[in-house]
Structure 1
C-alpha cells in the first residue's frame, strides 16, 4: 500500500473498480488500485464482510458487487434476526432463573440444619450466658477445661452449679488436664464431682475450652489461646453431634482423677470433728452462702480474724474451699 493511503480509501477505490469493471481479476484490480495482489485479497475479504461483495465463482475475481443500499438492508436484517434470537435466549434464561428461584431453591434447604451463632465479647457476657444456659439445661452438661487451674472462687461457683444440677437430675461430665487436677482445691472439686450422675476425668492435654449443653448448644472460645476475648454460643443439633463426638474422643482416652489416701477412722465410720460455738456459727453461715464481710460483722471480728478462723475450720474439716466445707458439714450432720 502506498504511503498515506488509508484502509477505508483503498476499500472504496477497490469497490469502485470492481463495480465499474465486473470482468476484472484481482491482478487488474490491484494494479489499478496501486496495491499488491495480497492486499487486494484482504480488501475483498473486508468488502465481503460488509456485504458489498458476494461470492461469484464464475467471475475472474471470484466476487460480484452488491449495491450499498442492498448491503445495508441485508446487514440490518441480519442484526435484527440476531437481536431477536438473543432476546429469545434471554427470555429462556429469565424463565429458567425464575423456575430455579421459585420451584427448586428451597429443596436444598431440606438438607440443611440451621446453625445460629451468638458472639459474647466480654467475660461478663460469657458468665451471664453460662448462668442462663446452666439453668435451662435439660439432660446433661459436658465441659472441657485446658490450661491452668481456675480461681478458687470459680470452683465454689462450679460446685454450687453442679449441686443445683444434681437436684434436677442433670448429668454432668467434667474434663481437666492432669497437671491441673493435681492442684489441691481442684483435686477436691474433682473428687466431689465424682458421684452418681456426675463424673470427672483427667487427660494429659486438652485442645480448647468447651462447654456442651444437651444436644443443641455449645460455648466455644473466640480465641482458644485467650479466653478473655469472649466466646461463641453455637446453637444447632447438626454441629453439636460433631462436637459431642470430638468430646467423646478425649473422654474415652481420659482417666479418673487420683483418689486421696483413706482417712484414719476415729471413733467409728464417720468421725465428727469437735467444733466450738463460734465455729458452729461460722459453719451455719457458710452453709447459707453468707459472704465473709457479713459473717465478720455478725461475729464482731475483723476480716483478718475471720479469714484465720475460716482457714482453721477448713483444715479441721479436711476440705479446700468454703462450698466444700458446706457439703462436708451436711454429710457429717453438723447442722442438726
Structure 2
C-alpha cells in the first residue's frame, strides 16, 4: 500500500469533458501529478489544457471520470472547499481593497483572524518582495507588482496545490522572464505543487519539472523538458516545441530519406535515439542550432541564401534547397564568411544523429 509521500497528490482517472453532450473536448484523460512538482500543461488554443485546469479548480465538472486529491474524490467538492490556490492571467484582484486586504481575504474566508492572519499576510508579502506596499491598492501598482500580489494571495493560506492559468501573459518580455525565475524560486523554497498552463514553449521548458503536451484534448507526451525537446514522441511535438527544419520524402529500406528532387539523405541508425525506420512516406527534422556550414562531415546539402538576420548572439541564415524546401541555421559569431549575401550559394550540413525521423500515416 502506498504511503502518502509515494501517492500522487492529484490523479485524473478516465476523465472526459463535453460542453454540448456530443463533442468530447477531453476524450479520455489519465494523469498523475506528483507531490511537490512543477507540472506545465502546454498546448495551442483549444487543445484542452485550460479545460483540464478548470476541472482541477472546480470551475468545470468532468462529464465522466474521477479526480482525486490525496486519494479522495474532489470532482463534487465546490472550488472554495478544495484548498487550492489559483492565479489568473488578469490577476482578479479586488480594486477597492489594499494589498494587505487582498491577501487577508482568503484567510478570513477560512476563519483565520487576529495575529495569525497578520503574520501570514506579512510572510506572504515578504515572499514575493512586496514589503512596504501593504496599504497600496492594485491601481497604484505596476503589472509585475499586481502579479506578485496575485501570487501571494494564492500562497497565503499554505495550499498544497497552486493552479496558474497563463499568469504572465499580460507582462512584457523582460518582466515575464524575471517573473518566471521568481515563480520557480518560490516553488523551490515552498515545495508546493504547481500546475501551470501556458501556450509558450520557452516558458514551459524554463520552469517545469515535467511538461504535458496537449493536442486535441489528449496528452501527446508527458516528460521532463529536456526529453520533450531532445526526444519528442511525435512529429507534432517536434514542430510545436522549439523550431525544426522539416524535410518530407520517402524512407527507403536502406535507411535513406529521398526528397522529391531526388536528393538522398542518410538517416540515423536505429538505437541512436531512433526507432527502426519503416519504409514509406516520412520526414526528417533537424533543429536550426544543429545546422552549420558544411565541413565534409555528415549530411551535406546545397542551397541558396534567402535571408540573413543578425540577432546579436547569432545570425539566422535562411536558405532554399533545389526542391523549394527552406533550411534555417543558427550560426554563431565568426562562423559565417563576411562575403555571404542573399542570393549566394551555400553548402550546409549537420550530423545524421541530430535528425529525428517520423513515418507519415498512409
Check whether TM > 0.5.
no
More RCO (CA 8 Å, sep 6+): 2
Question: Normalising to structure 1: TM-score of the pair?
Answer: 0.22
Greater Cα radius of gyration, structure 1 or 2? 1
